[in-house]
């Protein structure tokens, strides 16, 4: 039996290769996720160990929520005063991208890539992560930069450059280049250093981040740690002292989260490829078993046991699985190297990483490759085993796969009904969970029932074909409908892929439309000043300065702050209550933005309803600085499209909470009668002070957000492209097999006068019908689920449903065209058949 299996495999190498392709891809992605992750993690663990080698302890602040506040600078002296301490130095690090050097040509280094980080220079090789490569450490008015960035962006020692800092722009001279660890393992980040005094002045950090500690040789670490802790906590109760291992591990984990993200994306690609491949493999085996049913029946009549036949088919699947797994492991290493190269191209130069093929990687590859293939082949194997010897006599090749069993039909219908009810119900009550479950049920139900739909739907879709190409179109439609189960499972992969794109497109379109319409409703200010960088804030005095300019009617900055309200950590937004009415209409439902109330807070209508808050009630807020205060509800508001948080506080409350006023963005309203020259002056002033910030009108802001949403769709689109590519291989595969199966028939129609071109066209039309069937059903399903999904979005994300009909239509057209193209090979083969040979088949 095994020899038969092997012979069958070798008999059709192309089919075999196509079948395996999806599994190989899936296994490759999974393996690459592991290989790249393991290698990079090892590298970064080594880098972290290197860099922290000279540190004995680190003193840092803790917070029971969010990012710990900085330590007061005098902690350094306190630590240095402990007898066992040889040296204690302050570390100060600017927020990501808060400090950015401008190149000699005046260009900013793009912030969309790796971050730009600034540190204070530590003059003790044991405690510093950096060493000077060329030049000298930074003195006052100077800075150093890592050697790779210096080379890449042409920073020359001795030259003076503009550097953007939170308070504006300063000019500093490059005194040298540095290396981060021996390898300068920056991952493409730009790393700058300044002396400590200048760092505390320019980085916008109110204190120091931590203290690095080196002990005298021979002192007892445990005793020293206790002594340092005792000394520090006397002054800062929330401070802690951690050892080198903890520092190294924390340091490494900053990288591992990013490594894990890349790994997760690769795994997601693997899963997508896997799901789609299941259909492809199942289909190939089902067709092949169908075509071999005469041979199988012959085996049965000469005494083969059903079990032997089943084993023979499963054996074939096993062989496919083993080869796919093995190829996938090799392919995975290739994908990992490719991604490394890709990162390099995008500017994230990865460190050298060792090739680690962990046992778990191999096990995962083998389990996936073989498991999936075997699972997909179980159904066809069972059907093969039950082929009746009568098939030999009746002359029909395959009778299976024509009809949908009653039970399957009923289950499918029940799934669809339940799924639709759940999705609709979930949409009505904003429940994402029921919509999700409903979506899965709908997918399952539609997949089960789609064989029943193939006939009618392709008849409708094929109608225009029948107009332009009467016979070939008609025959293509009949062929597509002739084996409904085969056609359905061939197009199922495409269906799922396109449904996902449709959902993503509807979600994105709805979010964009909602932003547009709510912004139009609520934005009253003419100009918005923002830095695209989340963590970078504008200096507090900018608001006052702007208000002082001629022609400016109102202006305020918006400062987010993480706080604890009751037991939940949440973000509040602080701004000037006096100014807001002229800038934003956030749909005040009750009360007002009343700054006369002591410690006013305005709560979203939804949150107020949830917590039963009314105007005059008290809300207790605890800040990261540890200050707890009682605020008074001054009003409620309904429109969260611009101010997305639930709690809005006055700037004075922010200050009372011990938080710095550091606005992320500003809204500026120009007086109705402002002179154009004043407006121009305002714009020029802001422009020159913050040349790299965005000063936009509401419409420009909307456009930028829409663009960002489109960018976010890129990853989804890439995954779908992968799924669609595999689905198209499935269509190509099915058609190649169908053409083979219909050889006699093709010979016959050629004999009675069908031209080669007509034969090719017939095959392509069939592919087009399969493609448009999958695409239409998929997009239809996607529209339903997409609409339900948008209803579950929070009101600050989407308030209305928008369906991009034109682009969804285009999607169907593209998928159909791609299906037609994918059938090129099958069509060519069908056209080339020798008439006599074919008839004799």
Partner 1 sequence: MTLLHTTTSNTTAQVAASVRDAVKHYGHDDTQVTALDHVDIDFEAGAFTAIMGPSGSGKSTLMHAMAGLDRLTSGSIVVGDVDVTSASEHELTRLRRDHLGFVFQAFNLVPTLTAIENITLPMDLAGRSPDRSWIDHVVATVGLSHRLRHRPSELSGGQQQRVAVARALAGRPSVIFADEPTGNLDSTTGSEILDFMRHAVRELGQTIVMVTHDPLAASYTNRVVFLADGRITGQLDQPTPDTVLDQMRRLGN
Binding residues for partner 1, per CB under 8 A?
470-471, 474-475, 478-479, 482, 744-745, 748-756, 758, 835-836, 839
Q: Which residue has the tokens 């083979």?
A: 740
Using the minimum distance from each CB to partner 1, give the nearer residue, 685 or 755: 755
Among candidate residues 329, 404, 266, the one with its CA nearest the CA of residue 719: 266
Least CB distance to partner 1 at residue 832 (A): 11
Using the minimum distance from each CB to partner 1, give the nearer residue, 396 or 697: 396
For the chain, the farthest-separated pair of C-alpha atoms sits apart, in whole angstroms, at 104
Using the minimum distance from each CB to partner 1, give the nearer residue, 429 or 836: 836
Using the minimum distance from each CB to partner 1, give the nearer residue, 470 or 655: 470
CA distance 573 to 5: 69
Using the minimum distance from each CB to partner 1, give the nearer residue, 583 or 827: 827
Least CB distance to partner 1 at residue 479 (A): 6
CA distance 69 to 63: 7
Using the minimum distance from each CB to partner 1, give the nearer residue, 169 or 482: 482
CA distance 121 to 194: 5
Least CB distance to partner 1 at residue 284 (A): 22
Torsion sign over Cα 528, 531, 532, 536: negative
Neighbours of 453 (CB within 10 A): 17
Least CB distance to partner 1 at residue 817 (A): 25
Using the minimum distance from each CB to partner 1, give the nearer residue, 390 or 699: 390
CA distance 470 to 269: 42
Q: Which residues pair with 169 in a beta bridge?
A: 164
CA distance 669 to 697: 11
Least CB distance to partner 1 at residue 757 (A): 9
- CA 725, 32, 493: angle at the middle one, nearest 5? 25
Using the minimum distance from each CB to partner 1, give the nearer residue, 91 or 477: 477
* Helix ranges, 64-117 (H): 75-80
Using the minimum distance from each CB to partner 1, give the nearer residue, 410 or 836: 836
Contacts of 705 (CB under 8 A, 6+ apart): 512, 515
Least CB distance to partner 1 at residue 460 (A): 18
Q: Which residue has the tokens 């179109």?
A: 473
Pairing of strands 628-637, 618-622: antiparallel
CA distance 507 to 788: 10
Contact assessment for residue 281 and residue 19, using Cβ atoms and an 8 Å cutoff: yes
Using the minimum distance from each CB to partner 1, give the nearer residue, 716 or 839: 839
Least CB distance to partner 1 at residue 26 (A): 35
Residues shown for the chain: 841
Using the minimum distance from each CB to partner 1, give the nearer residue, 46 or 741: 741
Contact assessment for residue 763 and residue 826, using Cβ atoms and an 8 Å cutoff: yes
Using the minimum distance from each CB to partner 1, give the nearer residue, 83 or 753: 753
* Burial (CB count <10 Å: 0-12, 13-18, 19+), residue 322: middle
431 Rama class: left (phi>0) / alpha (psi -120 to 50) / beta: beta
Least CB distance to partner 1 at residue 754 (A): 5
Contacts of 210 (CB under 8 A, 6+ apart): 58, 59, 60, 61, 71, 90, 91
Least CB distance to partner 1 at residue 744 (A): 6
CA distance 624 to 602: 20
Least CB distance to partner 1 at residue 344 (A): 53
Using the minimum distance from each CB to partner 1, give the nearer residue, 339 or 481: 481
Q: How far apart are the first and last CA of the chain?
A: 26
Least CB distance to partner 1 at residue 740 (A): 16
Contact assessment for residue 659 and residue 624, using Cβ atoms and an 8 Å cutoff: yes
CA distance 212 to 603: 43
The helix/strand/coil state of 521 is helix
The helix/strand/coil state of 525 is coil
Least CB distance to partner 1 at residue 641 (A): 56
């Amino acid at each position: 039996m095994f020899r038969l299996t092997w012979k069958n495999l070798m008999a059709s190498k192309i089919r075999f290769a196509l079948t395996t392709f999806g599994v190989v891809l899936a296994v490759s992605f999974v393996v690459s996720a592991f290989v790249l992750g393991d290698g990079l993690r090892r590298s970064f663990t080594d880098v972290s160990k290197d860099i922290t080698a000279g540190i004995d302890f680190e003193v840092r602040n803790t917070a029971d929520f969010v990012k710990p506040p900085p330590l007061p600078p005098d902690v350094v002296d306190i630590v240095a005063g402990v007898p066992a301490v040889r040296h204690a130095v302050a570390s100060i690090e600017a927020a990501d991208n808060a400090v950015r050097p401008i190149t000699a040509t005046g260009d900013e280094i793009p912030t969309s890539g790796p971050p730009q980080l600034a540190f204070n220079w530590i003059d003790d090789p044991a405690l510093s992560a950096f060493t000077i490569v060329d030049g000298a450490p930074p003195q006052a008015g100077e800075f150093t930069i890592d050697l790779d960035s210096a080379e890449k962006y042409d920073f020359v020692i001795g030259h003076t450059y503009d550097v953007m800092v939170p308070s504006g722009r300063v000019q500093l001279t490059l005194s040298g280049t540095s290396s981060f660890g021996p390898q300068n393992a920056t991952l493409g980040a730009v790393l700058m250093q300044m002396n400590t005094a200048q760092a505390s002045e320019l980085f916008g950090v109110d204190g120091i981040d931590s203290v690095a500690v080196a002990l005298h040789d021979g002192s007892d670490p445990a005793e020293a740690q206790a002594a340092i802790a005792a000394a520090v906590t006397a002054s800062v109760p929330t401070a802690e002292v951690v050892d080198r291992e903890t520092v190294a591990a924390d340091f490494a984990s900053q990288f591992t989260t990013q490594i894990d993200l890349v790994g997760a994306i690769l795994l997601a690609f693997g899963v997508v490829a896997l799901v789609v491949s299941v259909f492809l493999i199942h289909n190939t085996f089902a067709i092949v078993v169908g075509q071999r049913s005469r041979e199988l029946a012959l085996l049965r009549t000469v005494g083969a046991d059903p079990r032997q036949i089943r084993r023979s088919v499963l054996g074939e699947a096993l062989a496919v699985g083993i080869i796919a797994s093995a190829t996938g492991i090799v392919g995975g290493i290739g994908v990992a190297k490719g991604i490394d190269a890709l990162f390099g191209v995008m500017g994230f130069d990865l460190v050298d990483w060792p090739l680690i093929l962990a046992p778990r990687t191999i096990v995962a590859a083998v389990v996936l490759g073989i498991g999936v293939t075997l699972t997909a082949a179980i159904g066809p194997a069972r059907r093969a085993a039950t082929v009746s010897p009568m098939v030999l006599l009746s002359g029909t090749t395959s009778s299976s796969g024509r009809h949908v069993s009653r039970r399957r039909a009923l289950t499918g219908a029940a799934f669809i009904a339940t799924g639709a009810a759940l999705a609709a119900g979930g949409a009505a009550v904003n429940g994402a969970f029921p919509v999700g479950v409903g979506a899965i049920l709908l997918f399952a139900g539609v997949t089960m029932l789609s064989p029943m739909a193939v006939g009618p739907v392709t008849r409708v879709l094929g109608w225009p074909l029948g107009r332009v190409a009467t016979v070939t179109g008609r025959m293509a439609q009949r062929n597509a409908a002739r084996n409904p189960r085969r056609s359905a499972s061939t197009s199922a992969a495409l269906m799922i892929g396109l449904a996902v794109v449709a959902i993503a497109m509807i979600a994105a379109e709805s979010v964009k439309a909602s932003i547009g319409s709510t912004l139009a409703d609520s934005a009253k200010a003419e100009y918005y000043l923002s830095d695209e960088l989340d963590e970078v804030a504008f200096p507090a005095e900018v608001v006052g300065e702007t208000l002082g300019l001629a022609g400016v009617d109102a202006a305020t900055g918006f400062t987010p702050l993480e706080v604890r309200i009751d037991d939940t950590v949440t973000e509040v937004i602080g701004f000037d209550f006096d100014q807001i009415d002229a800038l934003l209409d956030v749909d005040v439902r009750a009360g007002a933005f009343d700054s006369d109330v002591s410690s006013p807070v305005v709560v979203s209508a939804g949150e107020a309803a949830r917590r039963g808050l009314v105007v005059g009630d008290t809300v207790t807020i605890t800040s990261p600085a540890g200050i707890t205060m009682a605020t008074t509800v001054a009003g409620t508001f309904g429109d969260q499209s611009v101010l997305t948080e639930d709690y809005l506080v006055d700037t004075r409350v922010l200050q009372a909470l011990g938080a710095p006023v550091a606005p992320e963005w500003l809204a500026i309203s120009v007086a109705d009668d402002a002179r154009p020259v004043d407006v121009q002056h305002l714009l020029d002033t802001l422009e020159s002070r913050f040349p790299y910030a965005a000063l936009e009108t509401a419409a420009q802001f909307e456009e930028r957000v829409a663009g960002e949403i489109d960018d976010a769709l890129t990853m989804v689109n890439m995954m779908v492209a992968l799924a669609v590519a595999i689905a198209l291989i499935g269509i190509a595969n099915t058609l190649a097999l169908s053409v083979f199966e219909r050889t006699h028939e093709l010979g016959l129609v050629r004999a009675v006068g069908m031209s080669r071109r007509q034969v090719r066209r017939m095959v392509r039309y069939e592919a087009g019908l399969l493609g448009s069937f999958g695409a239409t059903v998929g997009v239809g399903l996607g529209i339903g689920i997409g609409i339900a999904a948008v209803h579950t979005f929070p009101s600050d994300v989407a308030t209305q449903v928008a369906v991009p009909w034109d682009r969804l239509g285009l999607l169907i057209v593209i998928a159909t065209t791609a299906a037609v193209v994918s059938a090129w090979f099958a069509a060519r083969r069908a056209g080339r058949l020798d008439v006599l040979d074919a008839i004799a088949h």
